[in-house]
Structure 1
Amino acid sequence: MLTSPAKAEQCSVSLSQDRVDYGRLHRGELLVEQPGRTELALGKRTLNLSVVCPQPTAMALRFDAPGVGAEAFSLGLQGSFTLSLRQPRVDGQAVELFQGRARSLEQASRLLPGQTLVARQGGAPVLGRMFSAQVEVDTYLPANATRVREEVSIEGRGRFELVSAN
């Protein structure tokens, strides 16, 4: 007996928080922590991602947001952020993530603009009702973007989508 995958719109995708807030950052603090850098890392933040489906489904995820090149997502006019999925599990079992261009396991866990990560075991997509993973968000600003006279809000937007694993 074969189970056909459920349609992605029947599944719910959720994050532990709907936003990542770095709070107020001061140029002097960033420059002291990372002297001589042209791009400043704002620090890693971790969220929990979960997907719940009523029927067994091939878990294939992408992040829909404007990209900055092939490796990162845009923070509007300045800066970028990257996303990595850690400890992926389908129905409580550890799985590997695969995307076409990955050359290593480290690269395979990165969500890249326009790319989809597929949960696999033994080289084949895994069907399941529940997917979970930790999402690591790394945010970067050009050093010259910190030269401002007043408080500036910088934000990026996007959303996780469950898509067909084909």
Structure 2
Amino acid sequence: MLLANPAKAEQCSVSLSQDRLDYGRLHQGQLLVEQPGQAELALGKRTLNLNVVCAEPTTMALRFDSPGAGPEAFSLGLHGHFTISLTRPRLDGQAVELFQGRARTLEQGSRLLPGQTLVARQGGGPVRGRMFSAQVEIETYLPASAARVRDETSIDGRGRFELVPQP
């Protein structure tokens, strides 16, 4: 699964500790024994580190640009979906909270949803800084039918983190 290419936004660099997650070869017997009778097969949680470094203080508003699989997950094409959460957000070394950026009523949360922007906030308002970091937790799910393929099948999801300019 391709997660991100380093991106630039207004003198900022956005990077991940890895640009690709590889779940390796998964075998039908392994998946069905570990999760018998399930409609979805969970491939487990993977954790990466996200870093944003800017030359000037910037409002940290992030989104993950990738095709959605409904309102709460990102698509793996016909083969399933994945979710992304940001945990332990820090701006210039200080803990911050993440809120949905464009919601009428602010909702705190670390889960990134398709089309959603998370904004670092502290003390009730967006904060500006030069260095943002967070852990990225990715959970991947396949339909149980994905374990019944006859040949080797590649499952691929793509997307990238973007720093969204704020007024």
Global fold match (TM > 0.5): yes
Q: Which residue of 2 aligns with 1:15?
A: 16
- Structure 1 match to 2:128: 127
Q: Which residue is 2:73 aligned to?
A: 72
8 Å CA contact 2:76, 2:82 repeated in 1: yes
- 2:145 is the counterpart of 1:151: no
CA contact (8 A) 2:99 2:107 kept: no
Contact 1:43 1:138 in 2 (8 A): yes
Identity value in percent: 77
Taking the aligned partners of 1:30 and 1:123, their CA distance within structure 2 comes to: 45
**Aligned amino acid, residue 157 of structure 1:** R
Q: Map 1:62-141 to 2 at 5 A.
A: 62-99=63-100, 100=103, 105=108, 108-141=109-142
TM-score (norm 1): 0.90
User: TM-score when scaled to structure 2?
Assistant: 0.90
Which is worse superposed, 25-34 or 11-20?
Answer: 25-34
Q: Return 5+ residue gaps in structure 2 as ranges.
A: 1-7
Compute the displacement of 1:31 (Å). Answer: 1.5
Q: CA deviation at 1:25?
A: 0.6
Give the Cα–Cα distance (whole angstroms) in 2 for the partners of residues 101 and 140 of structure 1. 31
**Matched position secondary structure for 2:18:** coil
- Residue 165 of structure 1, CA deviation: 3.3
Q: Offset at 1:78? A: 1.4
Cα distance in structure 2, aligned partners of 1:21 and 1:29: 17
Q: How many residues align?
A: 158
Q: Kindly state the Cα deviation for residue 102 of structure 1 after the two structures are TM-superposed.
A: 8.5
Quote the residue 1:4 is aligned against: none
Q: Distance in 1 between matches of 2:80 and 2:155?
A: 8
Mark the CA change 1:102 to 1:77 in structure 2 (over 3 Å): closer, same or farther. farther
CA deviation map 1:5-64 (0-9, x unaligned): xx9331000000000110011121111111211011001000000000000000000000
Kept in 1: contact 2:15–2:51 (CA 8 A): yes
Q: Using the alignment, how far apart are the partners of 1:34 and 1:141 within structure 2?
A: 12
1:163 is matched with 164
Matching residue's letter, 1:72: A
User: Are 2:51 and 1:53 aligned?
Assistant: no
Residues in 2 aligned to 1:103 and 1:161: alpha-carbon distance in whole angstroms: 20
Unaligned runs of 5+ in 1: 1-6
Residue in 2 aligned with 1:27? 28
The 1-side partners of 2:104 and 2:25 are apart by 37
List 4+ stretches of structure 1 deviating above 3 A. Answer: 101-105
